[in-house]
């Protein structure tokens, strides 16, 4: 079932025009800045956008204004992901999927984050994340419980499903922000 949902959502994403994407990206990032306490969050996980995921240029500038630490995902092996420090002076590489990564080994444990912005292909009505199917984020964040960072997803309205497809091992968002809505879960 997840593969069918994933395929359908990815196909819908390909239909978005560049102008529509730009407008929605600005709206979504602005809403995140207005509704999430970035200022008092010391360690924040972001991501390098892949395909038509929400860009984070406005968020990066806002976080930089507050001298907060930004970290990005990095694949360590075929099953492991870690989160390393972002510095615009670092060297960048592409991983096996063509996603940009930072070439350093300055990692931070997930429990030390205040906010984690995690991309998605889809999210169900209970806040469970549907990714690309590799399970990297699920494995990297397993074991986090009540003292976990706030998990935030940024996406488009069409990516939020009325159906349930989450499984116990899937990441569950606290907040998902789209161009027209703020969904709070839990």
pLDDT in tens, 8-37: 999 999 999 999 999 999 999 999 999 999
Average pLDDT over residues 1-6: 90
- H/E stretch holding 12 reads helix 2-14
User: What is d(CA 113, CA 23) in angstroms, rounded to the nearest whole number?
Assistant: 29
- pLDDT for 90: 87
User: Is 0.85 surpassed by the pTM of this model?
Assistant: yes
**pLDDT score of 70 more than 80:** yes
pLDDT computed for residue 144 by the predictor:
82
- Are the beta carbons of 105 and 97 closer than 8 angstroms? no
122: which residues sit within 8 A by CB, 6+ positions away?
Answer: 5, 6, 9, 129, 130, 155, 159, 160, 161, 165
Per-residue pLDDT of 159-176, as tens digits, reads 999 989 999 889 999 999
CB 43 within 8 A of CB 33: no
**DSSP 8-class letter at 133:** S
């Amino acid at each position: 079932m997840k593969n069918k949902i994933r395929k359908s959502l990815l196909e819908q994403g390909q239909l978005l025009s560049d102008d529509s994407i730009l407008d929605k990206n600005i709206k979504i990032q602005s809403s995140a800045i207005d509704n999430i306490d970035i200022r008092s969050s010391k360690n924040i996980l972001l991501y390098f956008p892949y395909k038509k995921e929400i860009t984070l240029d406005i968020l990066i500038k806002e976080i930089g204004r507050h001298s907060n630490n930004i970290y990005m995902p990095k694949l360590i092996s075929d099953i492991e992901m870690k989160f390393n420090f972002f510095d615009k002076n670092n060297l960048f590489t592409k991983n096996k999927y063509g996603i940009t990564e930072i070439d350093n080994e300055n990692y931070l444990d997930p429990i030390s984050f205040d906010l984690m912005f995690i991309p998605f292909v889809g999210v169900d009505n209970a806040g469970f994340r549907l990714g690309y199917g590799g399970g990297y984020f699920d494995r990297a964040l397993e074991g986090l419980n009540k003292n976990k960072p706030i998990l935030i997803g940024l996406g488009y309205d069409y990516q939020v499903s009325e159906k349930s497809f989450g499984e116990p091992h899937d990441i569950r968002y606290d907040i998902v922000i789209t161009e027209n809505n703020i969904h709070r879960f839990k």
